[in-house]
Structure 1
Amino acid sequence: MGIILSVLGIEEPTSYENPQKKILATLYGIQISLAHLLNVLISIFVVVLIILLECGVIPSVIQGFYCRDPLISHKYKGDTITTETLGVLAVLVPLLIITSTELLAHQSFKKINVYTVVFYMQECTVGAVLVLLLTSIAKVIVGEHRPHFFDMCQPDTAVNCTIGEFIETYKCTNTAKFSYLDLVDASLSFPSGHSSVSWFLGIYLCFVIHIRTITINVGYVMKPFLISIALTLSLVCSLSRITDRRHHWWDVLAGSILGILVALYYIVVVSEKIKKNDPILRSYSLAEDIPGMQLSRNNLETSSNVTF
């Protein structure tokens, strides 16, 4: 994070610095440590691996199909929420919600802590990339055909086959209408990447909203409103994959479960780091249980003088 903050011209608080970290070099006034270098190298490796998996450079398992299988005989209709749209939303929605929680916490634009926004965005980005990596690996291992497989691929061995016959080998012939990447993608249905990423983001943002938005300061409507936005976007994004016939329902279910589980694991892992790095939460005495629970309890005690 030190590199990101330095590029933005933000000085990272000295209380978070590790005095024992080894400085390898200084570039344009930015100190580059071994940890920074390893993080950059790992990030590049993960991004390249995801690209290789998604582009078919690393081949997926080739599954056969049953002749005239109705489950993969739907027409290709495109995407209600395209991959590009999801990518934009995956950046803008967390940024807007995290910035909103920072604004609500300080009640002033001038007091917004850019470091805090960058910290939460960094954690969100790392988690989303982890989900995307796991999803891409699962897609390649399973190699399940999408509901519109026949329409997009038009396999050569499916022309004169007997209904119900299992066909192991085939070659897609619809190369004039669809690109190589489209034809590869036609057999990468399980699990749904839209569902896994959107539900990870939804649960993560609900966590951020819960621990950073103090009800006594913003009222009883704002917190549920922000949470509903995050969950609604996740729900719409995942269900659209079924209505578009881009995924089977079990693909969406598996993707949603994957995203939620990674989000829950990620929240548990980073909760201690969040409590140490968030200037708002550091000012409270938090319990060791779920972050935000003791915070809400302290506020309730202060406002109502009720002894728990």
Structure 2
Amino acid sequence: MTGFEFHAWGNRLPGGNAMSDSNNTIRMSRVLCDFLVLTLIAIPLYIFHEFVPPYRRGFYCDDESIRYPFRKSTVSRQMLIVIGLLIPILLILATELFRTLAWEKKCEQEFKTYQVRNHSVHRLIVRLYCFIGYFFVGVCFNQLMVDIAKYTIGRQRPHFMDVCKPSVGYDTCTAPDVYITEFTCRSNDTKLVHEAQLSFYSGHSAFSFYAAWFTSLYLQARLFRPLFSRLLLPVIQFLLFGGAAYVSLTRVSDYKHHWSDVLVGALMGSAIGIFVALFVAEVFKRREIPSCGPTNEFGLIRMDRPDNGISHQPSNGANTVVSTQHVIVSEVDPANQRL
């Protein structure tokens, strides 16, 4: 992350200036600072979940949007955390291993080496630290925004009445126009009552779309050449977004969120994922494209017109234009050029 940066080239940067030794040295003080920053970001999350009560909103007793039955989640929070963290980490790990062992095997001399004091560190470790570290930073950013919204707004979930069973307006609704603020929940499950007031906006949707956007942009940047088939990478990216959409839609069908909660969660998660990938992790600036890759992979060709129409004067004095033929030449993939 901020502890050190890496570039594609061994002894010189693309601009031609020799790198200083400090660019090759990993300073442990900055690495420790990275972990300290992550810890400081995580502290507010712990405070929110353990000590901060959600804003207590009232309700109208005839509000049908909060009278749905309570159902268990199709995708539980624990399942979401495990899958949502595991899949991006495995994809990042597989991508960096594939690049190191396959694409960069003939270009080892183009990549710089790293050192911690007197010990060398392989560039694979540096890359995993950077990209997985930035991913976790974005996870903390995303969850912090979710918790701020949830605990500040305190919107009731669609199953609020079924879980809370308020003392007023639950069994009978004699005054549908009265906004009820003085009530007590008769349920003994305080955890469910607490959660029933945290509907806006959907943390499941925000996290799913954050992970999908960050991972898709990362793969697009780091897998700069076709991976066995040109269809493989788009299929992986589609599956990431398809999984995020499925998780989000189940929050509506399980009566955990209103549709607007899910929509805002998807938009916020997408915005944070794009921002972290492009402007914090800078995945496209860290593509590390070596110069030894194939230049015409998958038979890419283009049609070039080397000359314009050629005129000549025949013996009868009339001008005849000879049609120009297209010449097929190998196309150099722009992705294989140095940044």
TM-score in terms of structure 1 length: 0.76
Q: Structure 1 residues 36, 119: CA separation in 2 closer, same or farther (over 3 Å shift)?
A: closer
* RMSD, aligned CA: 3.4
1:134 to 141, 145, 151: 145
2:73 to 63, 69, 79: 79
The aligned counterpart of 2:46 is 51
Alignment length (residue pairs): 270
Q: After the TM superposition, which residues 138-287 of structure 1 pair with which residues of structure 2 at under 5 Å, given as runs?
A: 138-159=149-170, 160-164=172-176, 165-175=178-188, 178=189, 180-270=190-280, 272=282, 275-276=285-286, 281-283=288-290
1:123 to 134, 140, 146: 134
CA distance in 2, matches of 1:100, 1:221: 18
SS at match of 1:113: helix
2:174 aligned partner, one-letter code: T
Q: Structure 1 residues 44, 106: CA separation in 2 closer, same or farther (over 3 Å shift)?
A: closer
Q: Structure 1 residues 16, 97: CA separation in 2 closer, same or farther (over 3 Å shift)?
A: farther
The aligned counterpart of 1:67 is 61
Worse-superposed segment, 150-159 or 247-256: 150-159
Between Structure 1 and Structure 2, the one with more helix by share is 1
The aligned counterpart of 1:41 is 36
The aligned counterpart of 1:6 is none
Displacement of 1:212 in angstroms is 1.9
Worse-superposed segment, 41-50 or 265-274: 265-274
CA distance in 2, matches of 1:166, 1:74: 19
Q: Structure 1 residues 118, 193: CA separation in 2 closer, same or farther (over 3 Å shift)?
A: same
- Structure 1's unaligned 5+ residue stretches are 4-14, 22-29, 285-294
Q: Structure 1 residues 155, 238: CA separation in 2 closer, same or farther (over 3 Å shift)?
A: same
Contact 2:146–2:203 (8 Å) recurs in 1: yes
SS at match of 1:218: coil
Q: After the TM superposition, which residues 280-295 of structure 1 pair with which residues of structure 2 at under 5 Å, given as runs?
A: 281-283=288-290
CA distance in 2, matches of 1:274, 1:84: 32
Displacement of 1:103 in angstroms is 4.2
Flag the structure with larger Rg: 2
Contact 1:241–1:252 (8 Å) recurs in 2: yes
CA distance in 2, matches of 1:261, 1:272: 15
SS at match of 2:79: helix
Q: Structure 1 residues 62, 246: CA separation in 2 closer, same or farther (over 3 Å shift)?
A: same
Contact 2:199–2:257 (8 Å) recurs in 1: yes
- Structure 2's unaligned 5+ residue stretches are 4-18, 106-122, 302-329, 335-339
Contact 2:221–2:283 (8 Å) recurs in 1: no
Identity %: 25
Displacement of 1:152 in angstroms is 0.7
Displacement of 1:39 in angstroms is 3.5
Worse-superposed segment, 209-218 or 92-101: 209-218
The aligned counterpart of 2:8 is none
Q: Structure 1 residues 45, 198: CA separation in 2 closer, same or farther (over 3 Å shift)?
A: same
SS at match of 2:168: helix
Q: Deviations over 1:189-237 (max 9, x none)?
A: 0000000011000011110111122443422121112112211111111
Contact 2:202–2:261 (8 Å) recurs in 1: yes
Asked if 1:100 is matched to 2:94, the reply is: yes
CA distance in 2, matches of 1:242, 1:249: 6
Displacement of 1:113 in angstroms is 2.6
2:275 aligned partner, one-letter code: Y
